[in-house]
Chain A
Amino acid sequence: MQEIIFFLLVPFIAMLYEGVHRKISARLQNRIGPPIIQPFYDIKKLIKKKKMKTQNDPFFRHAPLLYFLSTYAMFLFIPFSLIFFDYDFVFLLYLTILSSAFYVLAGLSSDNPFGIVGSAREMILMIVYEITLVIAVFNFMIKSNALSLINFNSSLLLLSLPLSCIAITAVSIVELHITPLDTAEAPTEIMSGSGTEYSGRKLAFLEMAKYMKRLFFTLLIPMFFFGKNMTLILPMSILMLFIYTFTQATTPRYRVDQAFRVCLIFMVLALTDFILVMRGIL
C-alpha cells in the first residue's frame, strides 16, 4: 500500500525537493532564496496559462508529455518495485535513455536555433554518459548477483565498487544538468537549450520531469551505494540532494568539448570496474 501512495506522491515530493534545492542553493550563495513551496506556485502558474499553439509539429506538442511520462515510469522500479520481472533493470535503463531521447526530441522539433544547439549538445554527451550509466548499473547488478531490482540486496557496494560509484554520480550530474557538466542547458550560452521554445503547460511538464529525474537519481544512487534499506535511503537521498546543490553552487561550466572529455574519463572508470568485476577480481 505504501508503495502505491509513494508512487502517487512522487510529483509532489519532486517539487518539494526542488524547493529545498533552491533554498540550499540560495543560502550557499548568500541569498535568502524563495520559499520551499515556490515550485508548487510555479507549476500551478504554468498549468493555468493559456494554450499557445505555435507549431503543428506533433513531436513538438507531445514530446514534453512523453518526457514526463517516461520519467514518471522510472518510479515503478525505484525505490519500491511496483513491477518486477527478470532483467527489469535493463528496462529501467531503457526508460532513462528514452526520457533523455524525448528531451532531445523536444528541442529538435521546436525549430528554435537554441533548442537545436541544446539538443545537439545533449546528443553529443549522451553518446558517453548513457553508455557509462549502463556499464555502471550492470557492474552493480553483476556484483550483487541479482536478476531483478527486487532481489537487489547487497549493501555497501560503495566500498567494493568505488570506481562505478564515482562514474554513476558523474553521470547523474550530466543527466540532471548540474554544473560543471550542464553544457546542454547552459543558460548564458544557449538560453536554456531544448526547452527554450516551450511555455505554459508544456513547460510545466518539462520542468516537472526534470524535478522528478533529480528525485529519481537521489533515490537510485544511495540504493546502489548502501543497499536497499528504506530507513537509510531517505536520509541519504536528502544528502545526495545537498551534494548536487553544493556541486552546482561551487563549480563553473565546462564547454561542450571539455565536458565530453571529462565524461570519457568516467566511462573509462566504469569500464575498468566492469573488466575487474567480470574477471572476478572485485
Chain B
Amino acid sequence: MHDYTIPIGPQHPALKEPMCIRVSLDGNYIQDVNIRMGYAHKGVEGILEGKNSDSALYTAQRICGICSSAHENAYTRTVEGILNFEIEEKVKLMRALMMELERIHSHILWLGVIAHDIGYETLFMYFWREREKVIDIFEKLTGGRVHHNFNKIKTVRYDFDAKDKNFIIENLEGVKKRVESYLPDIRTNHVITSRLNEVGIIQREDAKRFCLVGPNSRGSGVKSDVRKIDPPYEIYETFDFEEILEDNGDSLDRTIVRLREVLESIKIIKQILTRMPEKPIPKFSLTQVPDGEGIGRVEAPRGELFYYLKFKENKIERAKIRTPTFASFKIVEKILLNREIGDIPVIVGSLDPCFSCMERMIIAKDGKIEVLNEEQFRRKYACKK
C-alpha cells in the first residue's frame, strides 16, 4: 500500500514540455512510477509521408525546436544517400558548423534548465546569457534565431561571409571563458554536488541495455558518439576533438559531460573556420528522388538521430525517425525508485528529454498490445492521404 500518489505534470514547473509522471509515495520515498505520454504527439512521420523530397525538408526541420539543424541535416543526408550524391567540402564544413553551434546552444540551454531545477536561478540566467551569444551567431549566419532553414538537398541556403569569422570567434571565446569558469564551481559547490552527485545513477550495463545515446550514455562511460564510432560520418574524421566520457553515470556526470562537450564543440568550430574555402556554395535545384530507401544518422545535441526514408514516385512512402531521447524514458521508471520527490526534477531533467520530437504513437488499449502489419496499421490508424 502506498501513502499517496502525486501527479507530476502534464503542467509542472519542473517539466518544460508536457508529460505525466504519477509517483506513488511511501513516506517520502517513491515506490511506484507510472509514466503517461502523448500530450505533444504531432504525428510527424504521418505528416512526412506523401510529401516530395523538397517540401518534406521544411517539415523535418520543424520537428524539434532546439535541434532543428540536426533534423534537417539527418534528412538531407538520408536523401543524398538515396541519390548517391557526394556533397562538396564547403557544404560539409558549413553543415558541421551549424551542428556544432547547435550543440553549444542546446547544451547551454539545458545547463540553465538543470540549474533552474535545483533552484539556482542566477546560474540559470547566466547560462542563458551565454546562449544569447550563440543565438546571435545564428542570426548573423542565417537570419533566424531559433529555426534556421539552413540546409537544402545537395547544398545549403546561405553562403558563408568571411566578415562574420571574427564575430563568431569573439562570441565563442566569451562563451568558452564563462563555461571554463563554471566548470570547477559546479564540481566543488557543496549544494550543487549534494543535489546532483549519486542521484539518478545509470549503470554502464543499463545504459547499454536501455539503448541510451548521447551525453546520457557517455555520462555512464559508454562510447556512443556517431562522430567518432566507425565510420565517422562526413567530415568529422578530419577534426581533432575528444569524445567526452565520465564514469559514475549520475546526474553530476551528465552535467559535466555536457559542459565539456561545449568546449570540444568550440574547438571544432575554430578548426572549421580556419579551413573554410573561399569559393561560393553550389546552386540549388529541385531534385527528383528515385524509388528506393535509405538511412541517415547524425550526432544531434542529445545523441544519435536516425532517419529512415522510403521514396516512391518522388514522394515519401514511409518515414521512420528515431530521436535520441526516445529510449531514455523507460529508464526513468527504474532510476526514480526509492528516491525522493525532490529528486524527480533533477533525474528527469538530467536526461534532457525532448518530447516534441520523441512522441510516437503507442497502442495500448485496455492493457492489450496490438501487433499490426503495415497494411493493417494503415487501414486502422493512418491518416488519409
Contact = CB atoms under 8 A, between A and B. Distances in A.
Interface of A: 25, 28-31, 113-114, 116-117, 120, 179-180, 182-183, 186-191, 248-258
Interface in B325-383: 340-345
Contact of A28 (B7, B12, B122, B194): B122
B6 A183 contact: no
Given A116-B4, A187-B13, A253 B118 contact: yes
Contacts of B192: 252
Given A120-B28, A186-B342, A249-B121, 20 more contacts: A29-B121, A30-B125, A113-B5, A116-B4, A117-B6, A179-B119, A179-B120, A180-B191, A183-B342, A186-B119, A188-B116, A188-B118, A248-B121, A249-B122, A251-B120, A252-B115, A253-B195, A255-B342, A256-B28, A258-B194
Contact of A254 (B122, B129, B195, B341): B195
A249 B14 CA distance: 19
Nearest to A183: B342
A225 to B, nearest CB: 26
A191 B12 contact: yes
B45 to A, nearest CB: 33
Contacts of B115: 252
B340 A256 contact: yes
B261 interface: no
Contacts of B126: 29-30
A257 B119 contact: no
A188 B343 contact: no
A113 B125 CA distance: 30
Interface in B107-132: 115-123, 125-126, 129
Scoring A183, A188, A250, A255 by chain B CB atoms within 10 A of each residue's CB, the highest score goes to: A188
A191 B122 contact: no
Contacts of B117: 188
B13 A188 contact: yes
Main secondary structure of the interface of A (DSSP, over half): helix
A113 B191 contact: no
Contacts of A31: 125
A249 B124 CA distance: 10
Nearest to B23: A113
B6 A114 contact: yes
Contacts of B5: 113
A189 B118 CA distance: 9
A186 B121 CA distance: 12
A48 B326 CA distance: 46
Contacts of B189: 252
Interface residues of B, number: 31
A115 B380 CA distance: 44
30 contacts: A29-B125, A30-B125, A30-B129, A31-B125, A113-B4, A113-B6, A117-B341, A120-B28, A179-B119, A183-B342, A186-B119, A187-B119, A188-B117, A189-B341, A189-B342, A189-B344, A190-B341, A191-B12, A250-B122, A252-B120, A252-B191, A253-B118, A253-B119, A253-B120, A254-B191, A254-B195, A255-B195, A255-B340, A255-B342, A258-B194
Contacts of B344: 189
A188 B119 contact: yes
A25 B126 CA distance: 13
Interface of B: 4-7, 12-14, 28, 115-123, 125-126, 129, 189, 191-192, 194-195, 340-345
A250 B7 CA distance: 30
Contacts of B345: 188-189
Contacts of A25: 121
Contacts of A256: 28, 340, 342
Nearest to A187: B13
A258 B12 CA distance: 23
Nearest to A246: B122
A249 B13 CA distance: 19
Contacts of A252: 115, 118-120, 123, 189, 191-192, 195
Contact of A189 (B14, B120, B122, B194): B14
Given A29-B125, A179-B119, A189-B342, A253 B191 contact: yes
A23 to B, nearest CB: 15
Contacts of B116: 188
Nearest to B116: A188
Contact of A29 (B14, B122, B194): B122
Contacts of A257: 28, 340
Contacts of A116: 4
A187 B14 CA distance: 8
Contacts of A253: 118-120, 191, 195
Contact of A255 (B7, B14, B122, B343): B343
A251 B28 CA distance: 24
A183 to B, nearest CB: 7
A183 B129 CA distance: 27
Scoring B116, B118, B126 by chain A CB atoms within 10 A of each residue's CB, the highest score goes to: B118
A18 B116 CA distance: 21
A168 B195 CA distance: 25
Nearest to B118: A252
Contacts of A29: 121-122, 125-126
Contacts of B6: 113-114, 117
Nearest to B28: A256
Given A113-B7, A189-B344, A251 B125 contact: no
A31 B191 CA distance: 24
A254 B194 CA distance: 8
A258 B191 CA distance: 9
